């Protein structure tokens, strides 16, 4: 009885193994291709070799896919790719057809992820090979690649700065530098410069470690960090010509260096334009004069032009429409406004534009209140009559005071009782 049980168990196990082999054989037969070899960087990897390729960050590696057709197929496409990063790393062939029994090779070039994409000093990723065809089930296999950081590598993570700056001021640069290599970087410096202006400054960033060993709860007492954030100030010369400039930021030490550029817009120092008076009242046919003080705060001469805009019924005249003002100096321009016979009664806006070689600097506005001549004359007449009446009243009061006789004082003599 026991021998029969053993025999039955053996037969059952043999049947299961045979069934699995038949299923595997069926699967192999159903696949329209067979991937025979994969080479990465001229190294054979895959299931049969048992090897994993080593990859260095940001390098472009050759990938070769060898396969054999197990049947005829059309619209065949081979694609190799790496998933799981900011942007997909992928390359594929155009469509082609294969003939049963023939062997093929397709070659690709893939750029591996950068150091900034790696969370650890080393990281394993999967190279996926996918072969598809029309009316066929796609074949897809994965192959291992071990990524490792460069021995010595620096990365400028960010540079934050104002986009626009005025000549004569300072610009602050907040710079974050990271050690994305495998080894410690000692005595790291960062240099910021604007070569066109001859401006530069160097700041010591210290030692950077390959991994951040600091505890979030005790950051103040920890120096073993892989990133450093510091601020650098650059003084912009006051005589810097307005325009777009490149700020060059370089991080370096004895073993590694990297650099980036950032654009900024430099505008001229703002001129001071100060009108002494902004409102006056005139009658038709009369004129009023406004003075405008122009201040040049630059280290170089600046030429200003003053042009009036049209004002109906008014004639606007500029005493000196073009004024050259030397560095750190000022000058005054006079604007004369005359009301013509066509000027309507009321308040008028007068606008003049102050321009430099860079365009409009400022608009200056004045208000002119135009009064009618008859109304003005009537106002003068009324004022004259009122003043005359006041004068007459005062004159009468004065005469009355002068002609009024003072009361006689009573004299008291001495009384004698003798």
Report all structural domains of the chain as residue ranges with CATH numbers, in order of start.
27-148 (2.60.40.770), 154-267 (2.60.40.10), 272-373 (2.60.40.10)
* Nearest alpha carbon to residue 80 among 103, 108, 55, 48: 108
Backbone angles phi, psi at 223, to 5 degrees: -110, -5
Tokens in use for 67? 């396969």
Tell me 121's DSSP state.
S
pLDDT recorded at residue 95: 94
Tokens matching residue 287: 């004129």
Q: What is the pLDDT along the chain (418 residues), one digit of tens a residue?
A: 445 454 445 454 544 544 444 444 433 446 899 999 888 888 888 654 455 666 666 678 899 999 999 999 999 999 999 887 767 788 999 999 999 999 999 999 988 877 666 666 567 778 899 999 988 999 999 888 877 766 677 888 899 998 888 887 889 999 999 887 777 888 999 999 999 999 999 999 999 887 665 555 555 555 667 789 999 999 988 778 888 999 999 999 998 888 999 999 987 766 678 788 888 888 888 888 998 888 887 767 888 899 999 888 888 999 888 988 887 788 888 999 998 888 888 888 999 998 887 678 888 898 988 887 655 555 666 778 788 888 878 878 777 777 765 555 555 455 444 4
3-class DSSP state of 403:
helix
Burial status of residue 139 (CB atoms within 10 A of its CB: 0-12, 13-18, 19 or more): middle
Task: Return the pLDDT at 295.
Answer: 83
Tokens of 194: 């604007």
Please give the full DSSP string across 173-228, using - where no structure is assigned: EEEEEEE-SSS-EEEEEEEEEEGGGTEEEEEEEEEE-SS----GGGGGG----SEE
pLDDT of 343: 82
Instruction: Tell if the pTM clears 0.75, that is, is over it.
Output: no
| Nearest CA-CA partner of 167 in 252, 244, 237 | 237
Cα 187 to chain centroid distance, Å, stands at: 30
State the DSSP H helix or E strand holding residue 19, giving kind and residue range, or none if neither.
Answer: helix 2-30
Q: How far is residue 326 from each of residues 74, 294, 319, 364, measured CA to CA in Å?
A: 80, 11, 19, 22
N-term to C-term CA, the chain: 190
What pLDDT shows up at residue 19?
Answer: 45
Q: Look at residue 75 in the predicted model and tell me its pLDDT.
A: 93
């Amino acid at each position: 009885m026991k021998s029969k049980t053993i025999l039955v168990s053996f037969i059952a196990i043999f049947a299961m193994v045979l069934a699995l082999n038949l299923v595997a054989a069926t699967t192999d037969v159903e696949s329209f291709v067979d991937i025979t070899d994969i080479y990465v960087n001229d190294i054979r990897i895959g299931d049969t070799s048992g090897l994993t390729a080593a990859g260095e960050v940001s390098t472009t590696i050759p990938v070769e896919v060898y396969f054999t057709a197990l049947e005829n197929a059309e619209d065949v496409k081979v694609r190799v790719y790496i998933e799981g990063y900011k942007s997909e790393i992928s390359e594929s062939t155009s469509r082609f057809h294969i003939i049963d029994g023939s062997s093929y090779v397709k070659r690709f070039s893939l750029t591996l992820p950068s150091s900034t994409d790696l969370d650890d000093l080393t990281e394993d990723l999967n190279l996926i090979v996918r072969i598809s065809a029309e009316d066929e089930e796609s074949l897809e296999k994965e192959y291992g690649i071990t990524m490792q950081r460069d021995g010595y590598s620096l990365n400028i993570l960010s540079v934050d700065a104002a986009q626009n700056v005025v000549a004569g001021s300072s610009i602050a640069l907040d710079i974050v530098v990271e050690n994305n290599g495998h080894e410690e970087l000692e005595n790291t410096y960062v240099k910021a410069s604007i070569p066109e202006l001859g401006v530069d400054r160097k700041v010591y960033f210290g030692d950077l470690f390959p991994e951040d060993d600091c505890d979030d709860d005790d950051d103040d007492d920890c120096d073993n960090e892989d990133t450093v954030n510091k601020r650098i100030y650059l003084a912009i010369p006051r005589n810097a010509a307005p325009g777009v400039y490149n700020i060059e930021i370089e991080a370096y030490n004895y073993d590694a260096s990297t650099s980036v550029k950032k654009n900024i817009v430099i505008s001229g120092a703002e001129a001071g334009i100060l009108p002494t008076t902004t409102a006056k009242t005139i009658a038709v046919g009369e004129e009023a004069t406004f003075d405008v003080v122009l201040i040049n705060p630059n280290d170089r001469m600046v030429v200003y032009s003053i042009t009036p805009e049209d004002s109906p019924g008014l004639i606007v005249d500029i005493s000196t429409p073009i004024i050259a003002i030397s560095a750190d100096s000022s000058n005054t321009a006079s604007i004369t406004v005359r009301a013509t016979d066509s000027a309507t009664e009321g308040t008028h806006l007068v606008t003049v534009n102050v321009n430099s070689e860079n365009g409009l600097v400022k608009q200056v506005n004045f208000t002119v209140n135009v009064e009618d001549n008859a109304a003005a004359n009537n106002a003068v007449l009324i004022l004259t009559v009122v003043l005359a009446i006041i004068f007459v009243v005062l004159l009468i009061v004065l005469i009355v005071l002068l002609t009024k006789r003072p009361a006689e004082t009573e004299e008291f003599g001495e009384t004698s009782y003798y």
